[in-house]
Each structure stands twice: as C-alpha cells, then as structure tokens.
Structure 1
Amino acid sequence: MELGEKTWDLVSRWNYFNKDTIGKQLVRAIDSVSANISEGFGRYHFKENKHFLYYARGSLSESKTWITKAYNRKLIEGNEYKTLIEEIEKLSVKLNNYINSIGKTQHNK
C-alpha cells in the first residue's frame, strides 16, 4: 500500500488535465494491486486467491505502463520514475513468489 500512497502524493501535484487523464488511471491501477491481494486472501480458497493475485499482477504491469507514460510526458522526474519502477519490479518478484507458493505444502517444497 506504500506504493499507492507515494503515487497518490505524486499525482496530487499535477494539474487537472494530467490528473484526469493519466493520473486517475495510474492511481486506480496501483490501488488495485493491494485491493486484489486483499480480496484474494480474504476468499480463503487457494484457487480464488491465485485468481485475484493474477489480477493484482496485471494491475502492477498496467501501473508500470502509466508511470512510463507519465515520465515520457514529463509529468515525473527521472529520480521519481526510477524509484517507482524499482519498487514495482521488487513487488513483482515478491508477488510472483507468493503466487507460486499458493497451495503448496511443506512436503512439496
């Protein structure tokens, strides 16, 4: 959720047009990551949990696209871009590891 808060703070500084176009899409995508992880976990069923984790992974990928568009359109600085992309890539690895662990028992490892 920390990534969502950083993104919110970033987008809140933009003008109306930029917020209304890229900003809303970016915030929705990044917030969808944690929301889908939470919803999947709350289902208490391996297959449903994985299903929502796949949605979260897709939203994470979408977020990376919107951040890149924002950078290309000079809405974010290079250091902000680099930090956000690095965080997304770290989260992506963690999310993939979590997805791969769902449903496995200690005997299967």
Structure 2
Amino acid sequence: MEKRYLQLTDLTSYKSAFNFGNEVWKIVIGWDYFAKDTIGKQFVNAADSISANIAEGFGRYHKKDKIKFYYYSLGSTKECTDWCNKAHIRGLISDDIYKVINVYLERLPREIHQLIKFTEEKLSV
C-alpha cells in the first residue's frame, strides 16, 4: 500500500480559513470606494493572511518555524474580529452577516490551536 502524506488541503483550519477569506471578499467587494479603501482592504488582507500563514507554516520544515506561522494566523484572526466589529458598528455589514462571520471567527482559533497542538505533539523535527 502506498504511503499517503498529509496535504495542506487536508487541514480543517486551512479549509475554514480559506473559505473565510473568500466570504470576506464577497462581502467587501460590494462596498463603496471609501469603505473598501479604508476598512475593506484591511479586512480582506487580514482574512487572507489567516490561510496564507497556515499554508506558509505547513510548508516549513522545522516544528518551531511551522508553529510560528500558525501563531501569526491566530493574530490575523483577532485582527479580523476588530475589522468585523468596526464594519458592523459603521453599518457596512448587517446583523445577519455579522453573525455568520463571527461563527468563523469563533471556530478558527480553536482549529488553529488544534493544528498547533498536533504539530507540537506529532512532529519530531
């Protein structure tokens, strides 16, 4: 039987973060120029950096290097919480969209912490 290696797309945290970034993009793309240029760009960059940092960490060889990037993705998750709250308070997103985004923002830190724990426990390098 052929040995199968873990792939980036096998990671729950990566899939969730990737989908979250696309959801944020779909929301922000409909905003007016000022909103996009101020909150929108920051929100999209922070959302995209969650999955990007998971991907970069996954591609690193050493355990400490991997974990460092996974922690960066956690920081980006917290940054997204701030941008989401600002967008909601400033009337850019509805209560319903706010709730949907917050489901991701509550789940992602748990998934990333699970990835960090798995990396710490299972990798030897």
TM-score range, shorter chain: over 0.9
In the TM superposition, residue 48 of structure 1 has moved relative to its aligned partner by 0.3
* Corresponding position of 1:21: 38
Could you tell me which of 94, 111, 120 is aligned with 1:94?
Answer: 111
Structure 1: tracts of 5 or more residues without a match: none
- Aligned residue for 1:74, secondary structure, equals coil
Q: Residues 39-96 of structure 1, C-alpha deviation per residue, up to 9 Å, x if partnerless?
A: 0110121100000001000001000110110000000000100110111111111111
- CA–CA distance in 2 between the matches of 1:103 and 1:86? 26
- CA–CA distance in 2 between the matches of 1:105 and 1:8? 34
Please list, as runs of the form range in 1=range in 2, the aligned pairs for 1:58-69 lying within 5 A after superposition: 58-69=75-86
* Structure with higher RCO (Cα < 8 A, 6+ apart): 2
Answering whether residue 108 of structure 2 is matched by residue 85 of structure 1, we say no
Structure 2: tracts of 5 or more residues without a match: 1-17
Percent identity for Structure 1 against Structure 2: 43
Could you tell me which of 18, 29, 35 is aligned with 1:12?
Answer: 29
- CA–CA distance in 2 between the matches of 1:105 and 1:40? 15
- CA–CA distance in 1 between the matches of 2:116 and 2:60? 15
* Corresponding position of 2:73: 56
- CA–CA distance in 2 between the matches of 1:98 and 1:26? 23
* Corresponding position of 1:44: 61
| TM-score for the superposition, normalised by structure 2 | 0.82
Could you tell me which of 20, 29, 44 is aligned with 1:3?
Answer: 20
- Aligned residue for 2:120, secondary structure, equals coil
- CA–CA distance in 2 between the matches of 1:83 and 1:56? 20
Q: RMSD value over aligned CA atoms?
A: 1.2
